[in-house]
Copies of this chain bind each other. A is one copy, B any other.
Amino acid sequence: MTRPTIHDVARVAGVSLSTVDRVLNDREGVRDKTRSRVLDAIGDLGFERNLAAANLSRGRRYRLCFILPDGQNSFMRALEQDVAEEAAAALRDFTVIETRKVPAFDAGALADLLRSLDPEAVDGVALVATDATVVRIAVRELRARGIAVVTLVSDLPGSEKQGFVGIDNVQAGRTAGSLLGRFCRGRAGRIAMVCGSMLVRDHAERRLGFEQVLRTEFPEQSLIAPIEGLDDKDRVRNQLAEKLAADPGIVGVYSMGAGNRGVAEALAALQPERHVSVVVHELTRYSREALLDGSFDAVLHQNSRSEVQGAIQLLRNLLDGQNPPPQVEPIRVEIYMRDNLP
């Protein structure tokens, strides 16, 4: 009923505590024969090291660095706030978290920052990735210096990052398509898409999923080429208003990036009897208002708080050297409508 300790292992293997410790921590200076005796004892006893005791003894501290894009994007600012709050809580678990900001979409600046990280001062990094080769290279160098790396919200496929914490954006797009298709059922027409920029990986993935579903499941709707709003509300408003005015057959709008205030404004300008169903991303003050006044039908959301917690947990697990690296629960795409707002 009481767990075996290294004392038990040492006794059964007929060695001292230090030798057991050497084996456990893969340190050298143990003969192969001794090592295997110890390993046998560990196996026989079903020994599992007490991580809390180990950390206490070595005075372990986890020094993490979160790297976020700077700028006015309200989702990113919420994320920053969540990091700050979780950082306070993490202190109790001997985890100190520092936040760094880099200009949005600036791969060079991000890579420079990554390169400047000193393994003497940082054990692990969580970054909102910009999808570029310089960043991949910088990540590889970080890993080479022994720093753990995970991506957050925006992934960096093909890099040496050890994990990703965020939503599956293709699936998010599929979900949007599934909802909007159903909302527009019986009103065949055209559906407009708004994105930040097709160069942003997340948006490209969302579009992919969205189009997949609409083409196969709701062929009565046709899609018009996406508006690139650059996450700027004025630009979004102007371009979308123009399209809506030019084409009275537009029955639905899917906005996959930021700048949702612009979408709401463009819709508000329509004649009241025209019904356009709308699905957007990220629950903010503005999208919330738009849900409540009926101009948006659904908002897809990712819980940034859970993402931060997930990244912290994943980094700590990586640093504890657990293998296989235990997966954290995947982040779900949440769906909000007027009637289930939190």
Residues of A within 8 A of B (CB): 48, 50-53, 55-56, 92, 171-172, 174-175, 177-179, 182-183, 185-187, 209, 213, 217, 277, 297, 303, 305-306, 329-330, 332-335, 337-340, 342
Chain B minimum-CB-distance residue to A182: B183
Known contacts A48-B92, A332-B332; A339/B55 CB under 8 A: no
Are the C-beta atoms of A332 and B334 separated by less than 8 Å? yes
Nearest CB of B to A168, in Å = 9
> A186 — which chain B residues lie within 8 A by C-beta?
185-187
Most chain B beta-carbon contacts within 10 A, residue among A171, A178, A340: A340
* A183 surroundings in chain B (CB, below 8 A): 182-183, 185
**Taking CB as reference atom, which chain B residue is nearest A210?**
B339
Given A171-B340, A186-B187, A187-B186: A305 touches B334 (CB 8 Å cut-off): no
Given pairs A182-B183, A306-B329, 8 additional interface contacts (CB within 8 A): A171-B340, A175-B339, A182-B337, A183-B183, A185-B186, A186-B186, A332-B332, A333-B340
Subset of 22 A-B contacts with CB under 8 Å:
A48-B92, A52-B52, A52-B55, A56-B56, A171-B340, A172-B340, A174-B339, A174-B340, A175-B339, A182-B182, A182-B183, A182-B297, A182-B337, A183-B183, A186-B186, A217-B339, A303-B332, A306-B329, A330-B342, A332-B334, A333-B340, A335-B335
Tell me which of B172, B182, B329, B340 contacts A305 (CB under 8 A).
B329
CB contacts (< 8 Å) of A55 on chain B: these are 52
Return chain B residues, CB-CB under 8 Å to A209: 339
Decide if B337 touches A179 in the complex (CB within 8 Å).
Answer: yes
Query: What residues on B are CB-neighbors of A332 within 8 Å?
Result: 303, 332, 334
